[in-house]
Amino acid sequence: MSKVAIAKCHQYELELVKNQITKTLDLLGGLENLIPKDAKVFIKMNCLGPFPPFMAITTNPVFVKAVIQLVKTRTENIIIGDNPALKDLLHVMKKNGIYDAIADENVTIFNGKNQMQISNPQAKIYNLFEVSQEMMDVDVLINLPKMKTHSLTYVSLAQKNFFGTIYGLSKGSWHVKASNPLQFGEALNDLYGAILKTMAGKKIIHILDGIVGLEGDGPSTAGHPKIAEVIMASEDAISLDRIAIEIMHLDYTRAFINHIAVERGFGEGNLKKIELLGEPLSAFSDLKFAPPGNSISQFGLKILKIKPLRNFVLEHPVIDHQKCLKCGECTRICPPKAMTIQPGKFPALKMTLCIRCWCCAEVCPQNAIKKSKRPWPGRLVLKGRL
């Protein structure tokens, strides 16, 4: 039976966070059983972009420092990192406070540029992936996701955080290859299967930072911080995500990536077969995350396989000229190059190329990219279904 450990934590105070993380890990068998002595450990953060901690977009620096200090009781051989979409990792870590928080911890910050190919022979769409070698070439992989909603994938939790094993702008190409949400969900699960295969016989530990999460149109600046006061840990990303969705009081039927993972046998999604340790779900009965706007149901996901329907039924990105800095970050990340910019002008969108991945909104530093109103055919055809 899969196990998910839950602890309450009301603020980012180092000793408190360490104590509460320790509680969850003790419930899973303790650090001495999870991390072999002198093991090589990679700590994979969520460093989406150069956003300050109060925005709750990236793993909090106090949370990262707490995990490092706990891991150091077992080993000094620690590497930390992530693959931000656009910016250099050091720049991102300085902006989100992690660099200063861990400056005295004497751990290695990786560069991510050394790639290795991993495979998933049972893949549904893609069986080969180029990922950062330093993340895989370890004895223990510790995953530190943030508790967030997501405009494309509904939630961004433990499993989704592994998309960051793919280096920088290379992530954008996967949005083109898997250009509708269901395809992207299958591709993410192809990647996750390849990671599980590569890490077979080794340890993967997931420790979720949900002290302050992100709700609404996450996973970036369009979302809003949400006090949740929760830390979760598990060796099963799928079970952890399933329980997190319950704690967030979101609609599990829309968490299609988790559904695909369960169907493939990557983890447990049946609440009756997941052993909860520590705090009960009832401890979070008053917690309610706002979902992403117009999230997509299973029905909607299926009809969106028909590409020409997108422009008729779905929202599209709209540039807020009052907030836009004309920095061009949205055009750099846009996988199908639907967003373009001319010197001194605002970005422009070619709707027929737009695949609605919302990468543009994800990297915008100003929250200047909004969703348009849903076209009337979409409101009519998808009424009550999306």
Last residue of a domain, one of 284, 307, 336: 284
Domain annotation covers residue 81: yes
pLDDT at 314: 82
pLDDT in tens, 196-241: 999 999 999 999 999 999 999 999 999 999 999 999 999 999 999 9
Q: Are residues 267 and 371 in the same domain?
A: no
Residue-wise DSSP of 286-336: T--PPPPTTPPPHHHHHHTTSGGGHHHHS--EEE-TTT-----HHHHH-TT
Mean pLDDT for 303-317 is: 76
Q: Are 336 and 365 in contact (CB under 8 A)?
A: no
Assess if residue 115 is contained within a domain: yes
Please answer whether residues 62 and 10 qualify as being in contact, where contact means their C-beta atoms are separated by less than 8 angstroms: no
Q: 133: how many CB neighbours lie within 10 A of its CB? A: 17
Q: Are residues 196 and 262 in the same domain?
A: yes
Query: What sign has the CA pseudo-torsion 295, 301, 304, 305?
Result: positive
Residue 381 is predicted with a pLDDT of 64
Residue 357: inside a domain: yes
- One-letter amino acid of 143: N
Q: Tens digits of per-residue pLDDT, 326-380?
A: 999 999 999 999 999 999 999 999 999 998 888 999 999 999 999 898 887 767 7
Final residue of a structural domain among 284, 308, 335: 284
| pLDDT for the residue 305 | 65
User: Phi, psi at residue 83, to the nearest 5°?
Assistant: -120, 90
Assess whether 331 and 369 both reside in one domain.
Answer: yes
Q: What is the pLDDT of residue 100?
A: 97
Same domain, 277 and 314: no
Residue bearing tokens 């340790």: 277
Task: Check whether residue 250 and residue 371 sit in a common domain.
Answer: no
Alpha helices in the chain (DSSP H): 14-27, 31-34, 61-71, 89-95, 98-101, 133-136, 170-177, 181-198, 237-248, 256-263, 298-303, 310-313, 329-333, 359-363, 376-381
Tell me phi and psi for residue 5, to 5 degrees: -100, 140
Q: Are residues 42 and 182 in the same domain?
A: yes
Whether 194 and 110 map to the same domain: the answer is: yes
> Are 7 and 79 part of one and the same domain?
yes
Average pLDDT of the residues in 122-141: 96
CA-based radius of gyration for the chain: 20
How confident is the model at residue 304, as a pLDDT?
64
d(C-alpha 296, C-alpha 293), whole Å: 9
**Are 175 and 276 in a shared domain?**
yes
Which residue segment(s) compose the domain that 370 sits in?
Answer: 298-381
| Beta strands at 274-278 and 317-319: parallel, antiparallel or unpaired | unpaired
Number of domains in the chain: 2
Mean of the pLDDT values across residues 296-310? Answer: 66
Nearest alpha carbon to residue 289 among 185, 146, 144, 189: 146
To the question of pTM greater than 0.75 for the whole model, the response is: yes
Residue ending a domain, among 254, 284, 314, is 284
